[in-house]
Structure 1
Amino acid sequence: MDHGYIAMKKNEVFCRLSSVGDFLGNESLVVRLIFPSTFFEENYFFEEQIYTLQKACIKNGLIVFSGPMGSGKTTTMYNLARKLANEKHVMSIEDPIEIYEPNFLQLQVNNKAQMSYSELLKVALRHHPDVFLIGEIRDNMTAKVAINAALSGHLILTTVHARNVYGVYQRLKNLGISDEELQQTMQVISYQRLIPTIDGRAKVLFDQIEGKDLDKDIIQGNIQSRMTKDWREKLEYCYLNNWINKESFETFIEG
């Protein structure tokens, strides 16, 4: 994996390059173009969903994002953190850094130097940041350090691999986080998909559970399907209002 910049219509675009050779010696190259973030409220189907996240950022605690690669999780986290950077000290820990942001103190995982997510988190705490942006919670140690940081008064924005909001909760449980710790720290669990619209663009739809609803919706086992009722209702609203076509509706109804 490598990084670089290219010029495109007089603008610089950040690139992530990944190459691999097959058994015949042929090279396969993937270039991911990461454009300067221009995601504002109009890039989301429902403004109240991004406002839910912005409101949660006012408080300390944990905001966890999930969704497949390319769904815009990192972009969402960065946009939320940028709104805080004028008044608060924001640090990001990623593997690798996906978006250059001069207003953040950005740290990159380097396993060869024994600088893992968990080790960098321990180091970062000594710099007294207000906000942590953690690229991904992958293991028990990172999960524990993130929870402890949230308990000690920090705002944590992070991602977890899961297929829906309920899966985020279960993944954190599997990493050794207790129900009590989640109830004390969780502000929002947010799953997102980037859905094509009829006019040829793409917008983000979220499936969200606020921390205050964790016990009612998840811990007590009141789960009826993969997605929440709110997701299905909002996706149907998009379809009935001709924002998305029938194919997209059927593709994304289960997340």
Structure 2
Amino acid sequence: MKRARVAYGGAIHSAVEMEGSVKLADGRVVAEDAVVWLPPIEPRTVFALGLNYADHAAELAFTAPTEPLVFLKGPNTFIGHRGQTRRPADVTYMHYECELGVVIGRSARKVKREDAYDYVAGYTVANDYAIRDYLENYYRPNLRVKNRDTCTPIGPWLVDAADVADPMNLALHTYVNGKLVQQGTTADMIFSIPVLIEYLSSFMTLNAGDVILTGTPKGSVDTKVGDEVITEVEGIGRLVNTIVGDEV
């Protein structure tokens, strides 16, 4: 099942997909363009992976990491499907990052990788924009790179884990103004979803609502004000976002 959170008629609703429309928890069915899309969950702790695709590391002239490169993101960064992301007026390079988001479903501590999927509630799409101007290096990402307001669209849907046969074999695509600019597959992750859950839970407790953003493949290019950016993960969803000026 595909689940969402939307605003409609002055209230926030849980919803599910229904034949191209949105069915609210109260039974009403409305058009997808009649709602304001919110992040499909209210994220708790959010872990973001850097350089988790070897082709992306090579693209940036970095050696692929031998241990997961993880940093944290604050809740202020997240916006929903069809939201607007502000591009600061002073930056010269701000790029998208199409990522599979893994949502934890229950408390997890010292989980073995063979049991890891038992702790996953579902999957979503994220577009974790990065501002290269502020980057110190990929092993020490500046807070201004990855924790800016509106810079991580997520959604539209949370797809139940039971409905995703193999999350490690999903195609990823990004389109800017209708042009395909990035493509890859989750099969190329350096650290798989089970490895990441085992690694993180080895030293801290993961909780329901925590999210792991699993990294992006090669193909990141600069975006400009006015660009429509669509990030898509096979079977999970198609996330639409627009770049606006920082004065908005």
**For the superposition of Structure 1 and Structure 2, which TM-score range results when normalised by the shorter chain?**
under 0.3
Kindly name which structure, 1 or 2, has the bigger radius of gyration based on alpha carbons: 1
Which structure features the higher share of strand residues? Answer: 2
Normalising by the residue count of structure 2, what TM-score does the alignment of the two structures yield? 0.23
Which structure features the higher share of helix residues? Answer: 1
Q: Which has the higher contact order (CA 8 A, sep 6+)?
A: 2
Normalising by the residue count of structure 1, what TM-score does the alignment of the two structures yield? 0.23
